[in-house]
Structure 1
Amino acid sequence: MTTVREIPAERPLDLFGKGRGDRATRVLEAIAEARLRWTTVVNRKAPDGRVDDRRIPLIVTERRVEAHDTDVVSVMFTAPDGRALPEWRPGAHLDLELPSGRVRQYSLCGDPADRHAYRIAVRRIPDGGGGSLEVHEALAVGTPVTVKGPRNAFPFVLPGHGSSAARVHFVAGGIGITPILPMVRMAHRLGVEWTMVYVGRSRDTIPFLDEVESFGGRVTVRTDDEHGLPTAADLLRGVGTDTSVYCCGPVVMTQVIADAVRDIAGVELYSERFSAPPVVNGTAFEVELARGGEVIEVPADKTVLEEVLKVRPGLAYSCRQGFCRTCRVRSLSGEIDHRDTVLTADERAAGELLICVSRCGGERLVLDL
């Protein structure tokens, strides 16, 4: 999941579903004080760079197919004892520890007003890293799991409360609807002026279609099989200088939007993607795994993580974007080209690096693996 800073929305009578308007006001004021304003593309990370290591035991209580082609399922989690769960706001995600030991990050796509359940949705990726297949095949109702979070690296900033925009425009591509859907609900409930374009290959492949279309004429559903591939103009219809744009979907789509928005003065762009970013300005180098002695060639356009997984397939990783810290390892020698967003100066001085994004500044890195 990567983030191009753009914005989404949604909520009940107040932000957390309680009959207390003052709570909503306090939350909005806190967001405003944080001055979460962006007009350019930035990497996804928690605002203060901290890692929330809180682990919460949950149990799967519901599974539903959310796309007609059956490739997307939603999974509901609750606490075994029924207790209230930590609060979250639109854009938040969970680190899900799967039964195999894999850790994967999934956006919360339920209702933040429901304090007793978390909902995620996962598209089956047959040739992926195995996490989506495990969710589809192993997380039956009654399965115990552990999560970390919630954490929010894609926060929704309301117009007039941290955003200078007057209206919000959402763009979601396929499974990218997951962080956007709670944002839309919040904007709708709070009376924010908003519009949305939802795109995908076909109506059979896009999840939560009934939920999205229940918002009526504010939403445009556009599928490739009916309309062809969308252009930037199709995705940004009606966007002007008074608009904040929230986008989540395939890398190509988010890049098209980012390129177009740069030419529209005053637009705030916030986005997130669910795939690793391409390597930029990379050079080839070698990685030596000290414990086994293997020497691996890392091409200029590949990450250390990609190449190490070929010989150490059990290595833990999650975000592939340099912010979750799951793939952190220690370098024993070699110059490190740090490209993460979260390691502290002391951690870097100790030789630590995130191999999903960071590289070698010379010819060889020796890793404590």
Structure 2
Amino acid sequence: MDATIEQSKNFSYSIISYVFFTFIGYFIIGLSLSVLPIFISKGLGFSMLVAGIVISLQYIMTFLMRAYSGKIIDSKGPKPAVLASMISFSFTGLVLIMAYYFRFSPMISLLFLIITRLFTGGAEGMVGASPINWAIMTFGEKYTAKIISYNGVVCYGALALGASLGVTIVKNFNFYGLGILIVILGLIGFFVARTKENKTGKHASEEEQKSFWNVLGKVAPFGLCLALGGLGFATISTFITLYYDYYHWQNGAMCLSVFGILFVAGRLVFSNAINRFGGINVAIASLAVETLGLTIISLSYHPYFALIGAGITGLGFSLIFPALGVMAMKTVPSSNQGSALAGYGLFIDISLGVTGPLIGGVADAFGLPYIFPFSIGIVMLGLALAYYLKMTQSK
């Protein structure tokens, strides 16, 4: 790829044409993220712990599919993984419609919700690293940080937009309208992906092509730091609507939107920070800012202050994934980058998957006001680990 491509007017558009599939996937995820916890707890009458577990099933399935996705990318290219994910997303819309239809029977409805969360998780696992690798294979490894940053912008921007829009759709068209929209979006993604040329990486020898678990071990220190930092975002995304409802505040989903807006702003404004200051330094600063944002939410006595805290949390979280991801990718040869990115992404899935039952358990045992102080402690562990990694590297 010519060195002048970055200056081309079409460069950003070209990257967007690949991370478009990330947008579709995470927009679909966001659509149900802010409405399902309330539907499960208030509509069906289950506890917050059950709501958290059902939401987290998605991330468990994503965890299981990451390794499979990484192998497909390394051996067959990213296109098959993207196609499979889009079909799976469409299927989740159909099952969501069934869950709402059987709402008069809470157990049957919950069973359909479990199915839709499992298929959503499988779809996320297939699409998570695929667009990034597709773009890297197209433009070259030197654009890895930029591609990861673009992907993160559309990922969390889509989550935030979907969360806000999901509330509006359910309010005006109930879950039938939401399910139909999900089916249509998944099919759009599928047919767009079919028009694009597949890419495959360099074929490595058996000696070079390490097992997924070997690669996972190499990226694990950075992934664990990501997982600890991700719990703050996961607490907001899973429980903020219930947190607002507890205090009788309005528009809890707005926190996700503000989080997403500041997240995107952070990626755009500080896009060169990783190259200038180094991944580990950026990660340390980002985790500190995220901790500050969560502290503001925890101390808030008015929803406006909670919005400010959510925005600062989004700003802090914005660069954690690419900052640590660039470092993780450097630990393996190019022939294993599909598996490396998939393995690294596992840790954010672990974080999101654990958050539901963990924070739900804290809420049931101590009350909703304690969920953000608990999250602050976890994110501070991530900050300590990031500092430890910096000290280790400097020796």
TM-score normalised according to structure 2 size = 0.29
Structure showing the higher strand proportion among its residues: 1
TM-score normalised according to structure 1 size = 0.31
Structure showing the higher helix proportion among its residues: 2
